[in-house]
């Protein structure tokens, strides 16, 4: 995945109530690595979206906008935050995108309660064996019967990447950089952020 010459592109979904650290850290780290990130709001709003702790984020575009060619992206990311993850999971368009990306071996990533969107998209039914995932501990009971649940900080199962919560956001984002752009780029951007990054 990381060897292609074209600039990698990622969608980060966002909604009212999304967890701001998980969204912003992921967006920032991916952009530092040269990944073109589009922050895509699931629902139209008159102004910035209010995240779970009151931080406001202005999306780059809205789901359904003609300017966003979904098929041209290499990865899709779902942040957590109970309210935001619920809105994102309930979107039939999002569920379809997640399912399509997984089937096309593109990166599908979720953190915290965002992992519930993986379940809602029915991705497990496309796998030949139980998929390994993690999430915020508060939603574990909604996932462990459908998936092989792990408590690792970041879990990678083929092209599916999941993580636990705000405190694992940097590791999650750097893993996405490794998969999209390569390990060397992940190490390169970790150093000036004063992060201890080991593969």
Domains of the chain: 9-190 (3.40.50.880)
- Tell me, what's the pLDDT at 136? 98
- Tell me, what's the pLDDT at 4? 56
Q: What does the DSSP 8-state code read for residue 55? A: -
- Tell me, what's the pLDDT at 67? 82
- Tell me, what's the pLDDT at 1? 54
d(CA 81, CA 111): 9
Residues lower than pLDDT 70 in the chain: 1-5, 199
pLDDT tens per residue, range 141-192: 999 999 999 999 999 999 999 999 999 999 999 999 999 999 999 999 999 9
Catalytic residue among 136, 144, 151, 188: 136
- Tell me, what's the pLDDT at 2? 59
Catalytic residue among 19, 20, 112, 171: 112
Global pTM?
A: 0.95
* CB neighbour list of residue 36: distance below 8 Å, 6 or more residues apart: 7, 8, 9, 10
- Both tokens of 128, joined, read 């030949």
Q: What is the per-residue burial (b if ≥16 Cβ within 10 Å, else e) of 100-132?
A: ebbeeebbbbbbbbbbbbbbbbebbeeeeeebb
- Ramachandran bin of 54, using left for φ above 0, alpha for ψ from -120 to 50, beta for the remaining angles: left
- Tell me, what's the pLDDT at 94? 98
112 in catalytic set: yes
Catalytic residue among 19, 20, 22, 171: 22
136 in catalytic set: yes
- Tell me, what's the pLDDT at 155? 99
CA 79, 83, 85 angle in degrees (round to 5)? 35
51 in catalytic set: no
């Amino acid at each position: 995945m990381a060897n292609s010459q074209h600039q990698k592109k990622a969608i980060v979904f966002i909604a009212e109530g999304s967890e701001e650290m998980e969204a912003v850290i992921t967006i920032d780290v991916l952009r530092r690595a040269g990944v073109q990130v589009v922050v895509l709001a699931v629902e139209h709003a008159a102004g910035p979206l209010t995240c779970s702790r009151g931080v406001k984020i202005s999306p780059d575009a809205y789901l359904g906008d003609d300017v966003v060619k979904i098929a041209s992206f290499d990865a899709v990311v779902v942040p957590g935050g109970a309210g935001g993850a619920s809105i994102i999971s309930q979107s039939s368009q999002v569920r379809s995108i997640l399912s399509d990306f997984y089937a096309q071996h593109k990166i599908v990533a979720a953190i915290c309660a965002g992992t519930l969107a993986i379940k809602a998209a029915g991705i497990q039914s496309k796998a030949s064996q139980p998929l390994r995932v993690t999430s915020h501990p508060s939603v574990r009971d909604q996932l462990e019967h459908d998936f092989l649940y792990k408590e690792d900080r970041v879990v990678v199962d083929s092209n599916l990447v999941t993580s636990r919560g705000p405190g694992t956001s940097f590791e999650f984002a750097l893993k996405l950089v490794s998969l999209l752009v390569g390990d060397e780029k992940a190490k390169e951007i970790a150093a000036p952020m004063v992060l201890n990054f080991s593969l």
